[in-house]
Amino acid sequence: MTLEIQNVTKIFPGPRRGFFDRGEGFTALENVSLSVQKGASFGLVGESGSGKTTLTRCILGLETLSAGSILFDGADIHKLTPLQMRRLRSRLQIVFQDPYASLDPRMTIHDIVAEPLVIHGDLVRLDARQRSERVLELLLQVGLTSAHLFRYPHEFSGGQRQRIGIARALAVRPEFLILDEPTSALDVSVQADVLNLLHRLQKELGLTYLFISHDLGVIRYICDDVAVIYRGRLIEQGPVANIFDNPQSDYTRMLLDAMPDPDPDRSPFRKAAAR
Ligand SMILES: Nc1ncnc2c1ncn2[C@@H]1O[C@H](COP(=O)(O)OP(=O)(O)O)[C@@H](O)[C@H]1O
Ligand SMILES: [Mg+2]
């Protein structure tokens, strides 16, 4: 599955001042174009507030576009019928930043991971027993065990919760994952383990990633290509090695300078890669 984002602009309306009067709109994305090829791991990096989550929401069809278009395998996602959109959503899953907020505290891990299998029950035809088998398979795949099945989210650490979020995203065997800062809420020591898992899953399952982060170190470990976004505009994109060795913009140089540990031998991402 390929994703093409073509000249996307998103302007949020300004605050209402009167019946016909609105304040000036806020341009969260301006003329953004990028494409993610099947099997690729594409990074989107930029600091907080630069428009990364807005782009995610546009890709998921949760926001209308002010201009431009978003195509999956050539089909414009804002022109799909509800049924086509549901099909697409089973092929395209998202892992959120905050594993606390994205898991329902009243549901067991089993039910959380099984939920997409129920929602997409018309596409993934499994009876209750097959669903439970699939849930266990998924937990093992992300490094959890059968002992975790009937526990609740609050009983888990942040890293384990993010593993649960990943298992849920993988349940319906998607081709494409959007990972919106999947490790940003985790301790650095745990980040490396979760990144390592995501890296392995991508290779094993042949997934395509759009990997969003404010941290170029994370992008370097996971991604082949990267686009740098600043205040809603892409300021450069290309192979990760080029961006690291020969950044073209001051902003990218600033992001590189802000990397938590510039010594690669001491970086947790380096350790994860060597494992
Ligand atoms: N629904 C909205 N209405 C108005 N402004 C918004 C809305 N959603 C996001 N924004 C603004 O768009 C900008 C980009 O936000 P976001 O996409 O969440 O950035 P990031 O994910 O890179 O941190 C921010 O300034 C944010 O305040
Ligand atoms: Mg965000």
CA of 144 from ligand 1 middle (Å) equals 34
Residue 29 is predicted with a pLDDT of: 98
Residue 272 is predicted with a pLDDT of: 45
Dump pLDDT digits (tens) for 189-232.
899 999 999 999 999 999 999 999 998 889 998 999 999 999 99
CA of 49 from ligand 1 middle (Å) equals 6
Q: Which residues line ligand 1 (CB under 6 A)?
A: 12, 26, 28, 46, 48-54
**Closest protein CA for atom 27 of ligand 1:** 49
Dump pLDDT digits (tens) for 126-180.
999 999 999 999 999 999 999 999 999 999 999 999 999 999 999 999 999 999 9
Q: State how far the Cα of 134 lies from the Cα of 117, in Å rounded to an integer.
A: 9
The rounded percent of the chain whose pLDDT value lies above 90 is 75
Residue 92's beta-bridge partner residues?
Answer: 176
Q: State how far the Cα of 113 lies from the Cα of 169, in Å rounded to an integer.
A: 8
Residue 261 is predicted with a pLDDT of: 57
Dump pLDDT digits (tens) for 83-130.
999 999 999 999 988 877 889 999 999 999 999 999 999 888 999 999
What is the set of domains in the chain, with CATH numbers?
3-274 (3.40.50.300)
Question: Is the confidence at residue 264, as pLDDT, over 80?
Answer: no
Q: Is the dihedral of CA 115, 121, 123, 127 positive or negative?
A: positive
Task: Return the best residue to mutate from 54, 181, 235 for the ligand 1 pocket (most ligand atoms within 8 A of CB).
Answer: 54
Q: State how far the Cα of 230 lies from the Cα of 117, in Å rounded to an integer.
A: 37
CA of 206 from ligand 1 middle (Å) equals 31
Protein residues with C-beta less than 5 angstroms from the ion ligand 2: 52-53
